[in-house]
Chains A and B, each alone.
Chain A
Amino acid sequence: MTAPVKSGRTFFLRPQDMIGIVILAILLLVVLPLTLDNFRLQFVGKYLTYAFVALGLVLCWGYAGILSLGQGVFFGLGGYCMAMFLKLEASSVENTKIQTTPGIPDFMDWNQITALPWFWEPFRSFGFTTIAVVLVPAFFALLVGYALFKRRVGGVYFAIITQALAAIMTILIIGQQGYTGGINGITDLRTLHGWDIRTDSAKTVLYFVCVALLIGCILLAYYVKSSKLGRILVAMRDKEDRVRFSGYDVSSFKIFVFCLAASLSAIGGAMFTLQVGFMSPSFVGIVPSIEMVIYTAVGGRLSILGAIYGTLLVNWAKTSFSESFPELWLFGLGGMFIAVVLIFPNGIAGLYQVYVAPHLGPLFGGAKRKVTPPAATPPAAGSAAPAAAE
């Protein structure tokens, strides 16, 4: 017996992961609420809903190498599920008595629809809605994933097809005004079981709910990452055939991680609707979907916590640029796409690993690393840089 096997940890979080999560939690739960005014904090809350999508993309794209350009679809599905519930509550008979058909959402009345469509009916129940938020997108992802992964469609083909799905979804929502609210989306959402979600205090409460859910999802992502499944995802990205010839049904793992990413995105979408008070097709289509990829790329495609910081950073930049130099923003965003590909493929997390971590103790991910972190060029497999992330 030579060198002892170190790889024997039983708990799914390493010490440096725990410290990272605690720091993030303190930042989001204490520092930001104390330093930002309500208005700014609500912005952060909105950004954090995108962080759910970025988190899903770390698992799906970073780890498994599956680039989905249709995550907006799932974000939207989650958001629309929640919006349908809230809209129904806002469209009580007394609220809508001036309509031709009272008791249905206003946009339906404007489109000469006289009865609530059947698929709206179950969204009167909050219980059903919360389940639907997670399961409807997962089911949709299951259909797409099953069809494509079983036939070994991957790489750029998968990306193009998911992008087409995002396009289809947007056109469908805009085209079917009477059922979906069209291009304006579902607006004028007011209360959740009688609790007015439009007030500042409600928004603060929702902010904390959002952070709590996000941390829950981060823990879930860490669990998946540290399980054998996480290592299989990395293995698949690298040598899919070897995994297959080690007795694994590769497609079922891809389907799983794609569905998981879809559900995570959808939770974000639902929280978006609650905090911002509406949902519209502008969060579903090609452009928002690919923008969500850049959050992950900037944070570091292999880093769970990096995805959160990446999302915050890109959105903060977007808001500040759009306020002062709207013209520069697209240049900046375009430049970011190019930079994360050509210059720092591991994003912020990669920079942290190379320049910051070595100066810190092992608890912060420094030391212990025998080999130098990977160079700036990811391997040929196409999608992913070597695992250098925390």
Chain B
Amino acid sequence: MNAQPVITDAMNKDFVLAVEGLTVSFDGFKAVNDLSFYVDENEIRVIIGPNGAGKTTVLDLICGRTKATAGSIKFKDRELTRMKEHEIVRAGIGRKFQNPSIYEDLTVFENLEISYPKGRSVAGALAFRRDAAVKERVQEIAETIFLADQLDQRAEYLSHGQKQWLEIGMLLIQDPELLMLDEPVAGMSVSERKKTAELLNTIIKNRSVIVIEHDMKFVEDIAHKVTVLHQGKILSEGPMAKVQADPKVIEVYLGH
């Protein structure tokens, strides 16, 4: 599948995530086309690009929601393209969806508890005990995501922003090495946005993060490196300043 396996193996070692030659086509339409990029340890990478550029599809491919047509995705030297979704999660990748994806019929506590990385098999879930360690960890996360006083509330009754935080909390409790966030501040009020930026700044320590975001101010604040996608291909990559100065990027964003 991969055109240059020899070179990549040597290079992969340093990267947490190595995406190479990644292609996916839907009925002939290539949503992602021969894409390659690398994410370092503790790096915060922001993916930007116009609508339909394939940003969400890239995250779908990494977390196994969509199967690649060609190419490879290596996470700490493990090939992800052949793994099942839950195996990818267990390997250490967390994914937040664009729309808050939480369990409305359960309480905030139960939402977090389900994401707690223990008792993930059928037998494990039957035997799972809500011990002190679990309660402590849930409490700790709940405080981080500003929901400590809502633990017994059904998630259905949270505000939109609170739901987004809850989902972020559900990822945090898994303690993933690679965190992928799809538009974490979309649809939030100004004050919620501020709080979220603060929240993200605390949680991105000690892990690699891939963020899709449209809010340029927000991107500027957090990004180590920016990847600009356009029509399934990389248009430009590098630090924010470099990308902003790239004439190709200006053309795509302003030219049309």
Contact = CB atoms under 8 A, between A and B. Distances in A.
Interface of A: 1-3, 5-8, 10, 224, 227-229, 231-232, 234-235, 237-239, 241-250, 252-253, 256, 371, 379, 386-387
Nearest to B150: A3
26 contacts: A2-B143, A3-B151, A5-B135, A7-B130, A7-B151, A8-B130, A228-B125, A228-B126, A229-B122, A231-B106, A231-B114, A232-B114, A234-B106, A235-B105, A238-B105, A241-B65, A242-B103, A242-B167, A244-B85, A244-B86, A244-B89, A245-B89, A245-B95, A248-B120, A249-B120, A256-B122
A238 B103 contact: yes
> Which of A227, A231, A234 has most chain B Cβ within 10 Å?
A231
A252 B122 contact: yes
Chain B interface size, under 10 / 10 to 19 / 20 to 34 / 35 or more: 35 or more
Q: Nearest 5 CB-CB pairs, A to B?
A: A247-B89, A229-B125, A228-B128, A235-B103, A242-B101
Contact of A7 (B94, B128, B152): B152
A248 B135 CA distance: 20
Contacts of A252: 121-122
B215 interface: no
Contacts of B117: 247
A249 B84 contact: yes
Given A227-B126, A246-B174, A386-B156, A7 B101 contact: no
Interface in B135-186: 135, 138-139, 143, 148-149, 151-152, 154, 156-157, 167, 170, 174
A2 B148 contact: yes
Contact of A247 (B97, B113, B174): B174
Contacts of A249: 84, 86, 120-121
Nearest to A241: B101
Contacts of B75: none
Given A228-B128, A242-B97, A248-B86, A5 B109 contact: yes
Contact of B151 (A5, A10, A371): A5
B138 A5 contact: yes
Given A228-B113, A235-B114, A386-B105, 9 more contacts: A1-B139, A7-B151, A228-B128, A231-B114, A237-B105, A244-B86, A245-B94, A247-B174, A379-B104
Contacts of A256: 122
B125 A7 contact: no
B115 interface: yes
B119 interface: yes
A242 B102 contact: yes
B107 A7 contact: yes
B242 interface: no
B51 to A, nearest CB: 22
A7 B109 contact: yes
A133 B102 CA distance: 39
B19 interface: no
Contacts of B85: 244-245
Given A2-B149, A244-B85, A246-B115, A235 B120 contact: no
B114 A243 contact: yes
A236 B203 CA distance: 27
B107 to A, nearest CB: 7
Nearest to A249: B86
A247 B86 contact: yes
Contacts of B95: 245
Contacts of B84: 249
Contacts of A239: 101-103
A241 B88 CA distance: 13
A117 to B, nearest CB: 35
B89 A371 contact: no
B152 A387 contact: no
A232 B123 CA distance: 12
Interface in B214-230: none
> Which of A1, A247, A256, A371 has most chain B Cβ within 10 Å?
A247
A247 B135 CA distance: 20
A373 to B, nearest CB: 11
A305 to B, nearest CB: 19
A241 B97 contact: yes
B102 A3 contact: no
Contacts of A243: 114
Given A5-B151, A229-B126, A234-B105, A245 B120 contact: no
A228 B106 contact: no
B40 to A, nearest CB: 23
> Which of A1, A245, A252 has most chain B Cβ within 10 Å?
A245
Contacts of B148: 1-3
B168 to A, nearest CB: 13
